[in-house]
Amino acid sequence: MARVELKNINKIYDKKVTAISDANIVIEDQEFAILVGPSGCGKSTLLRMIAGLESITSGDLLIDGVRVNDLAPKDRDIAMVFQNYALYPHMTVFDNMAFGLKLRKTPKKEIKERVHHAAEILGLTDLLKRRPKAMSGGQRQRVAIGRAIVRQPKVFLFDEPLSNLDAKLRVQMRTEIKRLHKQLETTIIYVTHDQTEAMTMGNKIIVLDKGLIQQIDSPMRLYNFPANQFVAGFIGSPNMNFIEGKIEKGNRILFKSPDITFSIPENLETLASNFLNQEIILGFRPESIYDQNNENVAWLTEKVKIEIDVIEPIGAETFIYFQANGNDICMRTTSNKEYYTGQSIHIGFDTTRLYFFDKKTGSILR
């Protein structure tokens, strides 16, 4: 029931340090929006501005078309789940959840109903009389979510809620929060530094770096069509590989670099010819590299010889690392072939999955 809109939002600390510059975001009703980026990118600041915990230097923040810049947090009809849960240690689970409602003078009977309902959804019914100290991290996290649910807010804000949990629990809570989103049918804005969390949970991802919005898109579009080198490198695990090189004209148009040189495939020739004799950055994902001797794939570039440096067999797949122009390049293969260190193989790149980036600005060349 809520549409959140950020218009030209800026955050400048002490008139000097710019934390967020010119953020424009629209989050539709019932969307699961993720703010993602490395630490210090401004994602938490942005969330805290939406919550009202941080003032907005300039720009407009609208919730359902109403400007809420000057409203106190409690009047914005939002609820927030904190990284370290921020449960009131002296209150029971019930009181933790009921606290906000009590302050709003909700009738006692209704408080009870709402808390019990939320407890049921989250499987906390048996724990209502406990105090936070006597609970596990996962249970505390649920209470924190429960505290948000009972308020029935327009917007849920999550500030890295899973980062204090161990890996296994994190995966479990991920699905649980997703399910909850479906059940509650509300807008969620979720901050994380973990790109896997972002990809798996959100349906709109806002990638931030150094206070600037890099790209806003769906998970798959972010992966397949990154707007710039930062997004390309940030989204996906292992990271996209980058190598610097030059576009040159031989018989055909060439990508030329000390260790890796190949003819630009036909589908990219027109694009590449715009950058003749210019330095560019070539990007390709680990899974877009194939072993030419072993795998038969139709749309590969011509052969490039490399020497295997490190092998990491995972089981279903194998990561192969080699050096190119002084960079570690990662290749991922699903073949069952046994490789060995020092082995020379011929690789080829998936011609449909090559990205060119401007060396100076980092933006994608299209």
- Of 35-43, 83-91, 241-249, 334-342, the window that binds another protein (rule: CB under 8 A) is 83-91
Other Cβ atoms within 10 Å of 276 Cβ, number: 11
* Pick from 64, 276, 18, 322: nearest CA to 187: 64
Q: Please, are residues 204 and 218 in contact by the beta-carbon 8 Å criterion?
A: yes
The backbone torsions φ and ψ at residue 305, rounded to the nearest 5 degrees and listed phi first, read -90, 130
- Of 79-87, 272-280, 306-314, 353-361, the window that binds another protein (rule: CB under 8 A) is 79-87
- Of 86-94, 219-227, 338-346, 352-360, the window that binds another protein (rule: CB under 8 A) is 86-94
Q: Is 147 in the site for another protein (CB under 8 A)?
A: yes
- Of 84-92, 211-219, 300-308, 315-323, the window that binds another protein (rule: CB under 8 A) is 84-92
Query: What is the per-residue binding string for another protein in 89-108, x denoting contact by CB under 8 A?
Result: xx--------xx--xx----
DSSP 33-72: EEEE-STTSSHHHHHHHHHTSS--SEEEEEETTEE-TTS-
Helix axis angle for 137-150 and 167-184, nearest 10°, is: 20
Q: Which is nearer to another protein, 100 or 238 (CB)?
A: 100
Number of residues that bind another protein (CB under 8 A): 32
Residue 136 Cα to chain centre, angstroms = 27
Going by their DSSP bridges, the two strands 58-63 and 155-159 should be labelled as unpaired
Q: Which is nearer to another protein, 79 or 364 (CB)?
A: 79
Q: At closest approach, how far in Å is the CB of 359 from another protein?
A: 39
Going by their DSSP bridges, the two strands 289-291 and 318-324 should be labelled as unpaired
Binding to another protein, residues 39-78 (CB under 8 A): 51-58, 69-70, 72-74, 78
Binding to another protein, residues 103-132 (CB under 8 A): 103-104
Q: At closest approach, how far in Å is the CB of 55 from another protein?
A: 2
* Pick from 208, 209, 210, 235: nearest CA to 220: 235
Going by their DSSP bridges, the two strands 17-27 and 4-13 should be labelled as antiparallel
Q: At closest approach, how far in Å is the CB of 320 from another protein?
A: 42
Which of 18, 21, 30, 83 contacts another protein by CB under 8 A?
A: 83
Q: At closest approach, how far in Å is the CB of 73 from another protein?
A: 5
Q: At closest approach, how far in Å is the CB of 214 from another protein?
A: 25
- Of 85-93, 257-265, 300-308, 345-353, the window that binds another protein (rule: CB under 8 A) is 85-93
Q: Which is nearer to another protein, 86 or 311 (CB)?
A: 86
Other Cβ atoms within 10 Å of 290 Cβ, number: 22
With a CB cutoff of 8 Å and minimum separation 6, the contacts of 52 are 68, 71, 72, 73, 76, 78
The residue ranges that bind another protein (CB under 8 A) are 51-58, 69-70, 72-74, 78-80, 82-90, 99-100, 103-104, 133, 147, 151
